[in-house]
């Protein structure tokens, strides 16, 4: 542990001469992938209680698209009303600590870490809070670890914290082939649940390999076709009515809404989340939505599942910074099986 100090100068390994600049994928205004540019920018400095991470890998999650577009508009209260308050894209990160700020910091220079980065992770360096990082276990690669901070934590918590799933119960995962869904399917399968995964026809066999006993094409299969009687529905697809989801549950079943791309530009999928919370008052079923924070403990629990072999991160492709735009476009088109990982 780094001891507290009155000197605000970051502590850096003696044999390291850190560059003053770095390459990063960023946008200066809200919009589509055409707004993303690769630029050389000043390397960030860690503030008090923060660490500087040499980024070895950075996972592309769906939230990055919201950071890019600034939609729904309600999100701009946090992201910046007129322009992005943070230019560099990306959240999930894995790499090693190369400098620490003043104060009591639980990671030493040279430590391998993963989690989320406050300064943006699609860059050669990123600043992060230790509260959003965990030590990378031996045997877990940086590329695998880079999928945990948002996607892995959300998938696990949707099944266990939000869904309180038990062995032998029936679970339906809508959006089973994506970054979060691929984790949710594996966590539920590893627990001993009976898993049904819904995705596109082209990804049915992929979802089977994750551990789903039953798979269905979302275009040709209705919730009624699946028979109902689910103890848990994890909805990552975001395009089904709450009333339809409720009807597919057992009388004491749970609905956990993780994301949603439907709805208008003002509220987006948030309005459906609020509706589910309101409907929860009038049914024996438990309806709600999940916002997962990538804390140190949450990240470490997913990393342990990977180290044990219970979960295997689904990585569709690895790209450099110059491939970020193409990866985002592939995600928009629904082509990714799991997620893409950026290796700066």
Q: With 90 as the cut, is the pLDDT of residue 242 above it? A: no
The residue ranking higher by pLDDT, 180 or 262, is 180
CATH homologous superfamily for the domain 151-289: NAD(P)-binding Rossmann-like Domain (3.40.50.720)
User: Which 8-state DSSP code applies to residue 161?
Assistant: I
Question: How far, in Å, are 63, 231, 246 from residue 285 at the CA level?
Answer: 28, 10, 7
Q: With 90 as the cut, is the pLDDT of residue 320 above it? A: yes
Q: What is the pLDDT of residue 5?
A: 43
Q: At what angle do helices 179-191 and 296-308 cross, to 10 degrees?
A: 70
Q: With 60 as the cut, is the pLDDT of residue 189 above it? A: yes
Q: What is the pLDDT of residue 264?
A: 55
In this prediction, residue 253 has a pLDDT band, given cuts at 50, 70 and 90, of very high
Q: With 80 as the cut, is the pLDDT of residue 75 above it? A: no
In this prediction, residue 260 has a pLDDT band, given cuts at 50, 70 and 90, of low
The residue ranking higher by pLDDT, 252 or 1, is 252
**Same fold for the pair 11-147+313-342 and 151-289:** no
Lowest mean pLDDT among 63-72, 159-168, 309-318: 63-72
Q: What is the pLDDT of residue 65?
A: 86
Is the sign of the CA dihedral 70, 71, 73, 75 positive or negative?
A: negative
CA torsion 162-140-321-43 (nearest 10°) is 90
Q: What is the pLDDT of residue 160?
A: 97
Residue 234 CA to residue 258 CA, distance in Å, equals 7
Question: How far, in Å, are 94, 154, 287, 341 from residue 147 at the CA level?
Answer: 9, 11, 27, 8
Q: What is the pLDDT of residue 238?
A: 67
pTM, full prediction: 0.90
pLDDT tens, residue by residue, 88-139: 999 999 999 999 999 999 999 999 999 999 999 999 999 999 999 999 999 9
Tell me the two tokens of residue 296.
């140190």
Residue 306 CA to residue 304 CA, distance in Å, equals 5
User: Which 8-state DSSP code applies to residue 176?
Assistant: T
Q: Which residues are bridge partners to 55 per DSSP? A: 95
Which residue ranges make up each domain of the chain?
Answer: 11-147+313-342, 151-289
Q: Look-up: residue for tokens 């028979």? A: 227
Lowest mean pLDDT among 15-19, 152-156, 316-320: 15-19
- Cβ atoms of residues 173 and 198 within 8 Å: yes
Q: Look-up: residue for tokens 């569709």? A: 316
Q: What are phi and psi of 187, to 5 degrees?
A: -65, -45
In this prediction, residue 285 has a pLDDT band, given cuts at 50, 70 and 90, of low
Average pLDDT over residues 164-180: 97
Tell me the two tokens of residue 91.
């959240």
Q: What is the pLDDT of residue 267?
A: 43
Residue 213 CA to residue 168 CA, distance in Å, equals 12
Q: What is the pLDDT of residue 183?
A: 98
The residue ranking higher by pLDDT, 240 or 181, is 181
Neighbour-count burial of 7, counting CB atoms closer than 10 A to its CB (0-12 exposed, 13-18 middle, 19+ buried): exposed
Q: With 70 as the cut, is the pLDDT of residue 214 above it? A: yes
Q: With 60 as the cut, is the pLDDT of residue 265 above it? A: no
Q: Where are the beta strands (DSSP E) in the chain?
A: 11-12, 21-26, 37-42, 51-59, 92-100, 112-116, 125-128, 133-135, 170-174, 194-199, 214-217, 230-235, 249-257, 286-289, 315-319, 339-342
Q: What is the pLDDT of residue 136?
A: 98
CATH class of 11-147+313-342: alpha beta
Q: With 70 as the cut, is the pLDDT of residue 286 above it? A: no
- Pairing, β 339-342 against β 315-319: parallel
């Amino acid at each position: 542990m780094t001891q507290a100090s009155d000197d605000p100068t970051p502590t850096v390994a003696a044999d390291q001469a850190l560059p003053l600049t770095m390459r990063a994928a960023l946008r200066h205004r809200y919009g589509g992938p055409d707004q993303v540019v690769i630029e050389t920018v000043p390397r960030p400095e860690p503030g008090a209680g923060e660490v500087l991470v040499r980024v070895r890998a950075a996972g592309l999650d769906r939230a990055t698209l919201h950071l890019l577009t600034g939609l729904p508009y309600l999100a701009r209260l946090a992201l910046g009303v007129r322009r992005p308050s943070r230019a560099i894209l990306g959240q999930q990160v894995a790499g090693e600590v190369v400098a620490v700020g003043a104060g009591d910091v639980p990671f030493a220079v040279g430590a391998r870490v993963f989690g989320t980065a406050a300064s943006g992770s699609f860059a050669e360096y990123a600043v992060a809070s230790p509260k959003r990082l965990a030590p990378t276990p031996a045997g877990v690669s940086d590329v695998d670890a880079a999928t945990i901070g948002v996607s892995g934590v959300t998938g696990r918590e949707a099944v266990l914290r939000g869904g309180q799933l038990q062995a032998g119960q029936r679970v339906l995962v809508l959006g089973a082939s994506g970054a979060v869904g691929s984790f949710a399917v594996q966590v539920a399968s590893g627990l001993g649940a009976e898993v049904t995964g819904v995705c596109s026809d082209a990804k049915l066999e992929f979802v089977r390999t994750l551990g789903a006993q039953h798979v269905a094409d979302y275009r040709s299969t209705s919730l009624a076709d699946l028979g109902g009687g689910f103890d848990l529905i994890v909805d990552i697809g975001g395009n089904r009515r709450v009333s339809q989801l409720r009807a597919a549950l057992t009388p004491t079943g749970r609905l956990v809404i993780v994301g949603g791309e439907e709805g208008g530009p003002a509220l987006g999928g948030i309005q459906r989340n609020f509706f589910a919370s309101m409907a929860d008052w009038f049914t024996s079923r438990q309806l709600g939505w999940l916002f997962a924070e990538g804390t140190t403990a949450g990240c470490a629990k997913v990393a342990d599942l990977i180290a044990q072999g219970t979960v295997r991160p689904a990585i569709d492709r690895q790209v450099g910074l110059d491939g970020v735009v193409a990866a985002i476009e592939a995600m928009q088109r629904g082509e990714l099986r799991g997620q893409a990982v950026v290796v700066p």
